[in-house]
Structure 1
Amino acid sequence: MILIGQFDSPFVRRVGITLETYGIPYEHRPWAVFGDAECVAEINPLIRVPTLVLDDGLVLVETLAILDALDEQAGDDCVLMARSGPARRAALRVCAFAGGISDKAVALFYEQNFHEAPNAALLARIDAQLRRTLDMLNAERAAGGYVWWQGDALTHADIAVAATLRHLSETQLDRFRLADWPALARHCTQCEALPVFQKISQPFIFIRGKS
């Protein structure tokens, strides 16, 4: 398999952590959607990451679709999401909210850095959307009472939230402080202490025209 994208993307990082957790061999090509756009376009015309090239040559895009394909290869004793039922729906729900936060964080970053005069009303709207969602997830994590989001085992929900919040905190240092959401901050610290999170890690550094 070939994983395309840099690990400063929360979406690419989620896929990388999953591949490592499952012990699936892969080649990593850390291409950026701006600096390496032509290379990415040859494989994925949308020029989006993560992109995963399967061993048979099939190209998969969109994080949840990629993770679903990887889950199929995992044994029931180590799969990062329930195969069916309420537990699966609950995990998918958290993953969707985490992915939505990342989408909004990227939109916020682009509005701030790629427009001469950022739209103040749009910035305020995105800011409110993010804070409401963070408030909700923080309350749920605090009320859960489990080691991990859904119990005693790490799941895609845990990975998605931690990867998302790492990205948000690094791209919005002056706007969002994880300490304002203590349950989520503790969750991130717990995840980032895991060897696989430390291995699949890349600080976000913005260089205009290169990220």
Structure 2
Amino acid sequence: MAAQYEPLFVKYFSDKILAKSVLPVIMATDDELRRGKIPTLNLCLEDAEIEGVRFDRLLLVMRDVLFTAPARGVVIHSHGESSLSGGVSKETFLANLSAGMPHFAVSELELKDGRVMIKGVYDRRLTFRVRALMRFTGAYVIDGEGAAKIKFVDATNDNPAISTLDVGRAISAAATPLSFVNFFGATRVKEVLVDHDMVWFSAESDR
């Protein structure tokens, strides 16, 4: 019976999540499904976008899902504990950064040993053209709200007329911030690993 419901959950999540691939895996008995209960629902996403940030792969695990199945599909009403894990490749990280910081042309990007290093040219025309070669080094830091973004601890800038602090803040906001409190499961980031040109993370709900 689970196979009959999976296409309905594909449509349900596809209507709410922008992703290239949406694959739900239902772990429930036929009797549980008839009662509208799924002990464990796994959702595998590829090339997904959450609040404007792209992710290569995501795995959402939702426990004790309660749903109804009206004529046109399924509707999830509640769930228990949930967890979310995923990864971002160097290419996707760079795409996120470029989309959020079009005035910063990245020439070098390193994701390794828990560290993020971004080097490039900031080039923008305001009243007059400003240009600077800048380099930022830092690591992901998880805040009290369960979101994570890069905190830069070292920076260089060859143009003192441009604020290193302001550009660093803008890059941090654009460079794949991790926040999922408004996504399914309302999970909070617990761990972030950076290495081998990848960013991995795991998040869990409070309940």
TM-score (norm 2): 0.25
Please tell me whether Structure 1 or Structure 2 has the larger radius of gyration of its CA atoms.
2
Greater relative contact order, per chain length (Cα 8 Å cut-off, separation 6+): 1
Q: Which has the higher helix share?
A: 1
Q: Which has the higher strand share?
A: 2
TM-score (norm 1): 0.25
